[in-house]
Amino acid sequence: MFTLPKLNYEFSALEPTIDAKTMEIHYSKHHQAYIDKLNAALETHPELQSLSVEELLSDLNKLPSDIKGAVTNHGGGHYNHTLFWSILSPAPQAQPTGLLNEAIEKAFGSFTDFKTQFETTTAGQFGSGWGWLVKDGEEVKIVTTPNQNTPLSDGLTPLLGVDVWEHAYYLNYQNRRPDYLKAIWNVIDWKQVEARFN
């Protein structure tokens, strides 16, 4: 049985970047719904219930065809949101350091150039989905995924993920996804992103 991960901050802690109401609904309703539906899907497959969500998602083609869709959507939803909460902080480390910083400079030129490219690419994701910084071998790159698909299923290691479903920003930013993406850096904790890289 999967359960909601504990949040390390209050719903209001990320204001004004993410408002308390959005956090509360996003975590208590949206994320909980993915978990409930993932658990319900696994009820018909007890042999899979001991696997972690990472194990379930790492090779979708190994899954029984009758729950492949449910695990992709709801398992992905659980994994992606768990990662998202873990890299947000009201008192974040504002920039990458060390090996991750070196990899970002090698791939994008500078941290500033990385942020601009991430914002542009992620704003351009058509419909609901996610923007990602991923580790691919020793390199880092930006990718997007539709819906709750996760780079983990493509053999990539997600380092940073930003939710661009409207439920993540609409109360505060309405249709202004680029403004949300510009602001999100205020609450991204690079200490957590670095820990995933290392």
Which residues bind to Fe ion, rule: CB under 5 A? 163, 165, 168
- Which of 22/192 has CB closer to Fe ion? 22
Closest CB 37 distance from Fe ion, rounded Å: 14
- Which of 118/197 has CB closer to Fe ion? 118
- Which of 96/158 has CB closer to Fe ion? 158
Q: Are 74 and 172 in contact (CB under 8 A)?
A: no
- Closest residue to Fe ion, Cβ-based? 163
Burial 162-183 (b: 16+ CB within 10 A, else e): bbbbeebbebbbeeebeebbbb
Give the chain's length. Answer: 198
Closest CB 30 distance from Fe ion, rounded Å: 5
Tokens 């020793």 belong to residue? 138
- Which of 28/44 has CB closer to Fe ion? 28
Closest CB 161 distance from Fe ion, rounded Å: 10
CA angle 115, 175, 149 (to 5 degrees): 60
